[in-house]
Amino acid sequence: MRGAGVDFFADRMMELYPQWVKGMARFESSYLIKGVITLPQVWALHYLSRHKECPMSELAGSMKLGLSSVTGMVDRLVKQGLAERRRTEDDRRVVFVDISASGRKVLKQILAQRRKFMVRLFESLTARERASYLHILEKLVRGLFNNGN
């Protein structure tokens, strides 16, 4: 491969990434693409779908965001009927948030469309190419979280 250095690779990735994202958008017609919900809100719903009645501080920590940012995001999710808030009687300062039935439905639709896109995109690769791709992606993800970031 010509210009196989890491600088060439980074430049080429920066050229391809916007095309990748635009390509994904062409195959999705979900709430995310329509602008009804943001990507961070999807991440929040995904986390909440796996952690029932999560304290707001835990959600903020999981997203590496400040409590005020997550509060605003959850406000919008609650207003859209995608999440629910609850305070405890013991300590009214502690706020729990959970995904609502509507939120589960929206998240399920978004994830189903994303899965359909992935199948369509990667079906042209051989099983070996897909395995290599997954191996590299998993290694990169581990590197992101093992470097203290």
Sheet with strand 83-87: strands edge to edge: 54-55, 95-99, 83-87
For residue 85, the SS3 value is strand
Q: Which amino acid is at 52?
A: K
Distance CA 65, CA 106 (A): 23
* pLDDT tens, residue order, the chain (149 aa): 555 789 998 999 999 988 887 877 776 666 666 777 888 999 999 999 999 889 999 999 999 999 999 999 999 999 999 999 998 888 778 889 999 999 999 999 888 888 988 898 899 999 999 999 999 999 998 888 776 54
Q: What is this structure's pTM? A: 0.78
CATH of domain 6-146: 1.10.10.10
